[in-house]
Amino acid sequence: MSPTAHERLARALAGEAVDRVPAWLMRQAGRYLPEYREVRARVSFLELCRDADLACEVTIQPLDRFPLDAAIVFSDILTVPEALGQPVEFTAGHGPVLADPVRDRAGIAALRRGQGHLPVAAETIRRFRAARPEVPILGFAGAPLTLLFYMVEGSGSRDWVHAKRFLYADPEAARQLLDLLADVVGEHLQAQVEAGAAAVQLFDTWAGALPAEDVRRFALPAAARALSHVRGAPRIYFAKDAAPFVASLPEVGAEAYGVDGRMDLAEARRALGDLPVQGNLDPVLLHAPRDTIVARTRAVLEAGGGRGHVFNLGHGLLPTTPIEGVQAMLETVRAWRPPGAA
Ligand code: CP3
């Protein structure tokens, strides 16, 4: 008998044999889907993140279109700064903007630890579990270092000068903020597990913007502290551009590691001592001709070896991603069988 979707995902994340490799996609709900754009024509992105019914609806959208093996709760990593008293806005074309950037110890002291809209994610998971009990849903949060970058910079950035200056000017204060973020993030992840999340992912999108030495000093210990709060579900740590420090990732203590699209998956796996991996097709490849998508998807599956591998992209789907590309990739994953599987 074939395993349930819950069993298949749990086995892949535990490094056990599976009948086929499960797949989900970072940003699988989003602007590349016409049905998502339809909802967004009525409500802003933040309103969507604050309404569990609407968030549940868009969480389900990609499942009704594609052969996916898991959902990810619709929310955003910047709900955490907001809960600490730093309001966030999304401006068209400029991405997120955070009020009153934290630039020193007084900025840290001004943060207030509240709930804000954080409980919406767990509520969305509860609704999803009632609506689609057969499909595992992942909870998530931003990793402390990535959140610190946004909170100090006040927006996204190419060079992160303010954020890095803060780390180097007062490493003790930086550690204090990372510890606070780790505890808030850890509790937020645990609330999602208690609401029924089958696994959680910690997104460290900007860790790779630091020299490897500082990743080990700041990002990995803070991520480990955040994940230490989580009991009862496997934990995935995703750091983008992690090639320079891939062998240090296990310091985080996660069950599985997300690998970005620039790394060779087989090499990442060896560097990780054969721990379970997730990834890693470059999302831009989905703009390529169909034959290329099929061939490159198979190459990722073969590099993953069919065991201890959850298929995903190397980073989130882009608003320009063609629907047919996503379909071709996911059909290829569905059809592929691990070596030795029936
Ligand atoms: O993966 C999923 O489908 C779940 C939902 C999800 C979103 N954001 C929805 C979203 C997840 C997991 C995130 C995480 C997130 N948010 C990260 C880490 C992951 C990554 O991509 O590296 C980061 C850095 C953020 C912060 C953030 N939120 C940015 C930089 C942006 C883009 C701003 C822009 O103008 O494009 C967002 C907005 C956002 N988050 C959108 C979605 C679907 C697009 C908002 C819209 O509908 O206009």
What are the DSSP calls for 284-325, one per residue? GGGGS-HHHHHHHHHHHHHHHTTBSEEEEESSPPPTT--HHH
* 168 annotated active-site: no
> Whose CA is closest to atom 21 on ligand 1?
316
What pLDDT is recorded for position 342? 65
> Whose CA is closest to atom 5 on ligand 1?
74
Query: What residues flank ligand 1, with Cβ below 6 Å?
Result: 26-31, 40, 45, 72, 74, 76-78, 90, 95-96, 140, 156, 203, 205, 316
Please tell me the chain's helix, strand, coil percentages from 3-state DSSP, rounded to the nearest 5: 50, 15, 35
Alpha-carbon radius of gyration of the chain:
19
pLDDT tens profile 108-145? 999 999 999 999 999 999 999 999 999 999 999 999 99
Is the sign of the CA dihedral 332, 21, 307, 321 positive or negative? positive
* 170 annotated active-site: no
pLDDT tens profile 9-58? 999 999 999 999 999 999 999 999 999 999 999 999 999 999 999 999 99
pLDDT tens profile 167-224? 999 999 999 999 999 999 999 999 999 999 999 999 999 999 999 999 999 999 999 9
The domains of the chain, with CATH numbers, are 5-335 (3.20.20.210)
142 contacts: CB under 8 Å, gap ≥ 6: 77, 78, 80, 150, 185, 202, 203, 204, 205
Distance from C-alpha of 299 to C-alpha of 266, rounded to nearest angstrom: 10
Both tokens of residue 167?
A: 């780390």
* 225 annotated active-site: no
Which atom of ligand 1 has the smallest separation from the CA of 140?
12
Nearest of 104, 105, 112, 177 to residue 145 by alpha carbon: 177
Which atom of ligand 1 has the smallest separation from the CA of 146?
24
DSSP assignment of 253-281, as one string? --SEEE--TTS-HHHHHHHTTT--EEEEE
For residues 272-301, average pLDDT: 98
> Whose CA is closest to atom 36 on ligand 1?
95
> Whose CA is closest to atom 13 on ligand 1?
76
* 27 annotated active-site: yes
% of the chain beyond a pLDDT of 90: 97
State the distance from the centre of ligand 1 to the C-alpha of 206, rounded, in angstroms. 13
Residue 1 binned pLDDT confidence (cut-offs 50, 70, 90):
confident
* 150 annotated active-site: yes
State the distance from the centre of ligand 1 to the C-alpha of 6, rounded, in angstroms. 25
pLDDT tens profile 58-107? 999 999 999 999 999 999 999 999 999 999 999 888 899 999 999 999 99
Which atom of ligand 1 has the smallest separation from the CA of 30?
43
- Asked if the peptide bond before residue 280 counts as cis, ω within 30 degrees of 0, the response is yes
Both tokens of residue 97?
A: 């903007």
Mutate to test the pocket of ligand 1, among 48, 90, 160, 192 (most ligand atoms within 8 A of CB): 90
Q: Which residues, listed in sequence order, are joined to residue 90 by a DSSP beta bridge?
A: 96
Nearest of 140, 116, 308 to residue 226 by alpha carbon: 140
State the distance from the centre of ligand 1 to the C-alpha of 68, rounded, in angstroms. 19
Mutate to test the pocket of ligand 1, among 54, 72, 73, 76 (most ligand atoms within 8 A of CB): 76
pLDDT tens profile 218-267? 999 999 999 999 999 999 999 999 999 999 999 999 999 999 999 999 99
Active site residue: 20, 27, 127, 269, which one?
27
What pLDDT is recorded for position 340? 85
What pLDDT is recorded for position 2? 87
